[in-house]
Structure 1
Amino acid sequence: MPSIQPIIFVTGTDTDVGKTFVSGLLVLRWHANYWKPVQTGLESDQGDSLTVSQFCESNKAVKWNPKIFKPLIELDKPLCPLDAVKCDPSNKELSLNDFILPDETVAAVPLIVEGAGGIFVPLNSKLEVTSDLIKKIIDQTERPVYIVVVARSGLGTLNHTLLTYDHLQMRGLKDHILGCVLNGPENQLNKESLELFGVRVIAEIPIFEETSQLKLVLDSIPPFEEVVNEL
C-alpha cells in the first residue's frame, strides 16, 4: 500500500441519515483515523468523536484503535453551525481562512472526516458551506480526497441523493465522489433508480440489533482499494 493514504469526507443527504454510524464502520473496515471538524448539539449528545471512539472500542469483529482528532469547533445547540454559534457565548465560528488539517505525520493511515449535516449546510457568517470545506481540504493536502455520501435507503432518498450529487458536481467535486452508502432496510428499486442516474452505490448497510452481526455488516463494505480501483 502507498505510504500516503487518502482522506475520505463523509457527508449526508439529510439530518440523521446515519453519517456517524457509517463513519464508524468505515473507520473499522478501512483501518482509518477519524475527525469531526465541527461538532454541534453537545447539550443533548455526547458528540460524534466520543461515539465513534466507543463504537470502535466495543467492537469484537475488528481489532483497530483509531486516532480520534479533536474538533476545531464545539457548540452546544443542535443546529447548523451558522445558527449554533449565534447561541454560544464563545461566538466562535469556523473560519476557512484559519482552517488546518490534523497532524499530517499520520498520513500513512486513511482519515475519515465527518461533516456537520449535509453538503449545503452553512458553516459560518460568510455563508461558506460544507462543499467549501471539502475544497479547502483538497487545497491543503497532497493526499487524495474522496467523498462518500450517506443516504437513507427508503422513500425520499432519490430526490435528496440526486440533489446532493448535483450540488457536488456544480461545485467541481464530481471527480472526488467515491460513491454512496445506503443506510437502512434494503430497497432494490431505489438502488437501481439511483444507479440509472449515475450514482455508484458502494455499500448497503442494513438495520441490525445484535453485535454479532457487525462482522457481516463490515464485510458488506468492500475494501478501500477495491472501491478506488473500480472508479
Structure 2
Amino acid sequence: MPRPILITGIGTDIGKTLVAAVVTEALHADYWKPVQAGYETGTDAQTVASLISNADTIIHKEAYCLSMPASPHIAAANEGIEIDMEVLRSHCQSILQSMDNKPLIVEGAGGLLVPLNKKETIADLAKAIDARIILVSRNYLGSINHSRLTAAYCKQAGLDVMGWIFNDQYLDYENEIVEWTGYPSLGTIAYLENKDSAVIQQYAESIRSGLYQVIGS
C-alpha cells in the first residue's frame, strides 16, 4: 500500500489545511486529521470536505477531537487525557488497510516539533506511521528562517521530505529556499481571498503531474 503523506509546515496558521485540500483533490486521495485541537468554528476535516469535489475521497474520523484551540498536548490535558502515539499509529494502520490502494493525506498540527504529549511530537508521528512529508511554507517576514530551520531538522531527523508547497503572496525567494534546503518545489498557491472547490480543483490540476512524479521516485 502507498505510504501516507503528511502535510506539515514551518509553523501554525500557514495554510496546511488549504494545501491538504489541494493535494487530496490532486491525488483523489483519502484525508485524515489525527488530532484536531479546537473546533468552535469547524474542524479541518470539515474544511477539506467542503473544498474537494472528486467522488473518490473519504474523510476519515479524527483519533482525537479536542475542544481547546491550543497545542495538542495542552488541549488533551485540558480534557484529562494524554495523546497516545500507539493509538495514532494503530488508527492510521486501520485506515490504510481499509483503503483501495489510494494515497492517504495526513494533516499535522502546527509545525513538526509541536508536542502531542510530554515526549512525542508531530515529527515522531511521521516516523510512527512511516509517512513521506510535504512541507508548507507561507510567505511572510521571517519565513526564510523558519523554512530553513524546518528543513534542517528534517535532515537531522532523517525524515523523508517530498518537497515544498508555497502558500500566500509570492515574494520572489521561493527558489532560494529550494536551493538552500535541497528540497524541490511541488507548487505555489497564490494568496486567495476566496477559497472554493473550483479554485482548489484548479490548483490540484496544476500540481498533479509533479506530485505523481515525486511519489513514483
Q: TM-score, normalization: structure 1?
A: 0.83
Please report how far the alpha carbon of residue 169 of structure 1 lies from its aligned counterpart in structure 2 after TM superposition.
1.4
User: Alpha carbon RMSD of aligned pairs, Å?
Assistant: 1.8
Q: 2:17 aligns with which of 20, 23, 37?
A: 20
Q: Which residue of 2 aligns with 1:131?
A: 123
Change (3 A) 1:152 1:167: same
Q: Which residue of 2 aligns with 1:122?
A: 115
**Is 1:225 the counterpart of 2:217 in the alignment?**
no
8 Å contact from structure 2 (residues 19, 136) kept in 1: yes
Alignment of 1:25-174 (within 5 A): 25-42=22-39, 44-56=40-52, 59=53, 63-88=54-79, 91-99=80-88, 100=90, 101=92, 102-103=94-95, 104-125=97-118, 127-138=119-130, 145-173=131-159
Separation (CA, whole Å) in 2 of partners of 1:16 and 1:225: 27
Please report how far the alpha carbon of residue 121 of structure 1 lies from its aligned counterpart in structure 2 after TM superposition.
0.2
SS at match of 1:147: strand
Separation (CA, whole Å) in 2 of partners of 1:157 and 1:128: 25
What 5-or-longer segments of structure 1 have no aligned partner?
Answer: 139-144
Please report how far the alpha carbon of residue 210 of structure 1 lies from its aligned counterpart in structure 2 after TM superposition.
7.0
Q: TM-score, normalization: structure 2?
A: 0.89
* Percent identity between the two aligned chains: 31
Separation (CA, whole Å) in 1 of partners of 2:41 and 2:84: 24
SS at match of 2:49: helix
Q: Which residue of 1 aligns with 2:164?
A: 180
Deviation string for 1:183-205 (max 9, x for gaps)? Answer: 011222x1121122113111100
How many residues are aligned here? 209
Q: Which residue of 2 aligns with 1:142?
A: none
**Is 1:192 the counterpart of 2:175 in the alignment?**
yes
Separation (CA, whole Å) in 1 of partners of 2:113 and 2:195: 34
8 Å contact from structure 1 (residues 19, 114) kept in 2: yes
Separation (CA, whole Å) in 1 of partners of 2:200 and 2:151: 29
Deviation string for 1:129-170 (max 9, x for gaps)? Answer: 1111111101xxxxxx31001111232211111111111111
Please report how far the alpha carbon of residue 116 of structure 1 lies from its aligned counterpart in structure 2 after TM superposition.
1.1
Return the letter of the residue paired with 1:158: I
Please report how far the alpha carbon of residue 27 of structure 1 lies from its aligned counterpart in structure 2 after TM superposition.
0.6
What 5-or-longer segments of structure 2 have no aligned partner?
Answer: none
8 Å contact from structure 1 (residues 120, 129) kept in 2: yes
8 Å contact from structure 1 (residues 82, 124) kept in 2: yes
Going by fraction, where is helix more abundant, 1 or 2? Answer: 2
8 Å contact from structure 2 (residues 10, 147) kept in 1: yes
8 Å contact from structure 1 (residues 206, 217) kept in 2: no
8 Å contact from structure 1 (residues 73, 93) kept in 2: no
Mean CA deviation greater in 69-78 or 192-201: 192-201
SS at match of 1:97: helix
Mean CA deviation greater in 193-202 or 27-36: 193-202
SS at match of 1:15: coil
